[in-house]
A and B are shown apart, each in its own frame.
Chain A
Amino acid sequence: MSGRVLVGVKRVIDYAVKIRVKPDNSSVVTDGVKHSMNPFCEIAVEEAVKMKEKKFIKEVVVVSCGPQQAQETIRTALAMGADRGIHVDVTGKDYDNLGPLQVSKIMAALAKKEEAQLVILGKQAIDDDCNQTGQMTAALLDWPQGTFASEVTLEGDKMKVVREIDGGLETIKINTPAVITADLRLNTPRYATLPNIMKAKKKKIDKVKPADLGVDITSRLEVLRVDEPPHREAGVKLETVADLVDKLKEAGTI
Chain B
Amino acid sequence: MANPLRGQVIKLYKTLLYLGREYPQGAAYFRGRLKSAFMKNKDVEDPEKIQKLVARGDFVIKELEALYFLRKYRAMKKRKDQSIQHKCLSSNDAV
Contact = CB atoms under 8 A, between A and B. Distances in A.
Interface of A: 15-16, 39-40, 126, 129, 184, 188-189, 191, 193-194
A189 B69 CA distance: 8
B72 A39 contact: yes
Given A184-B77, A191-B65, A194-B15, 18 more contacts: A15-B72, A15-B75, A16-B71, A16-B75, A39-B72, A39-B76, A126-B76, A126-B79, A129-B83, A184-B73, A184-B76, A184-B80, A188-B69, A188-B73, A189-B69, A191-B68, A191-B69, A194-B14
Contacts of B38: none
Contacts of A129: 83
B15 A193 contact: yes
Interface of B: 14-15, 18-19, 65, 68-69, 71-73, 75-77, 79-80, 83
A193 B79 CA distance: 27
A188 B65 CA distance: 11
A49 to B, nearest CB: 16
Contacts of B69: 188-189, 191
Contacts of A16: 71, 75
Contacts of B79: 126
A15 B68 CA distance: 12
Interface of B, helix, strand, loop or mixed by DSSP: helix
8 contacts: A15-B72, A15-B76, A126-B76, A129-B83, A191-B68, A193-B15, A194-B14, A194-B15
A8 B77 CA distance: 22
Contacts of A39: 72, 76
Contacts of A126: 76, 79
B75 A194 contact: no
A165 to B, nearest CB: 13
A129 B79 CA distance: 11
Nearest to A129: B83
A15 B71 CA distance: 10
Contacts of A189: 69
A195 to B, nearest CB: 8
B68 to A, nearest CB: 7
A85 to B, nearest CB: 21
